[in-house]
Amino acid sequence: MTELNVANPNWWPHRFDPARGHVHFIRATREDHRKAVFLTDEYLADAANPQAVDLAAAAAAGRQAPLHFVFHSAYCCSTLLARAFDLPGISMGLKEPQILNDLSGWRMRGAQPQELASVMASVLAILSRPFGDGEALVVKPSNLVNGLAGLMLHVRPDARAVFLHAPLRDFLGSIARKGMFGRLWVRELMVKQMREGLIDLGLEGEDYLQLTDLQAAAVGWLAQHALFAQIVQKFGASRVRTLDSTRLMAASGDAMAALATHFSLSLEGKVLDGLVNGPVFLQHSKNDEAFDADARDAAKREGEKLHADEIEKVHTWAEAVAQNAGISMALPAPLI
């Protein structure tokens, strides 16, 4: 077995064990990160061979680089954006680290706020080990971790963030096209948000049981929208900006240039042109098949034909719910 060196970023902090205060490290090179759709057991070949290290010792080992965040509301090109930050010498994108999901689960099981904050600071210190000299880290947590977004920004006062989201109508269409599993996922998300106290839409408990699947999807979207707006207000536009996925895809060059400025990355000229005209923006982020902006639009239009009436009705309903709850459908502090 290769000797563990927690200062080496090729040893990846995969899981957290709160009972023992251990981080479980596995081997994962930069190429392993590129191949993995997400940094979860399913996509990491060495996930079954962890080595446990005391959290404090792991956090104290190695250098720390600037760390920034891409928070998102799901199905909004967030994986594409995380992949775009795999730029040797500039930055590295981290796609939904499982260890952050572990902290979210620990919180749901009753972790004390002060202890959770201390552990989060240590975990983010470990995640900020640079893969190369002069590189920053850009972390895209799972949207299931959005309830901890404010905590992450609090314990990393030097970090900046972007909140990426799809327009509600696009989000509803994505869920409808995914069939049963998409509809199940939004209900699971809604239940988690309810347990976290993130849903305050003026509905009663039993009302949520009577919602259709796409209404449940809209509830989850609205809850995340409200959370994003609150965090922008708390931390300010100098640290937190928002980005619509349609703008990201329609003006990729402008969006990436603005993100580079926001994250203090040296991304310009030929490097920027090569990125926005290269495979990241021309391939499907999950399977690397050819899939440019036009193909995305075509797939969206074709898939939504079957559900257009339901999507339109739910969108109208969600607008009324949002107005009643005082939630703006447009987020503040747009990036572009």
pLDDT tens for 255-272 read 999 999 999 999 989 999
Residue 23 pLDDT: 98
Could you read off the pLDDT of 65-106 as tens digits, one per residue?
Answer: 999 999 999 999 999 999 999 999 999 999 999 999 999 999
> Any residues with CB less than 8 A from the CB of 84 and at least 6 apart, and which?
93, 256, 275, 280, 281
Residue 303 pLDDT: 66
Residue 268 pLDDT: 85
Q: Which two tokens stand for residue 330?
A: 């447009």
Alpha-helical runs (H) found in 178-292: 179-195, 205-209, 213-235, 245-250, 252-262, 269-276, 279-282
- Strand ranges of the sheet holding 136-140, from the earlier edge strand across to the other edge: 91-95, 136-140, 67-72, 161-165, 240-244
Give bridge partners of residue 157 from the DSSP assignment: none
In the predicted model, residues of the chain with pLDDT beneath 50 are: none
Q: Where are the domains of the chain?
A: 11-325
Yes or no: say if 33 and 82 are a contact pair by the CB < 8 Å rule.
no
> Domain 11-325 is of which CATH architecture?
3-Layer(aba) Sandwich (3.40)
Residue 62 pLDDT: 86
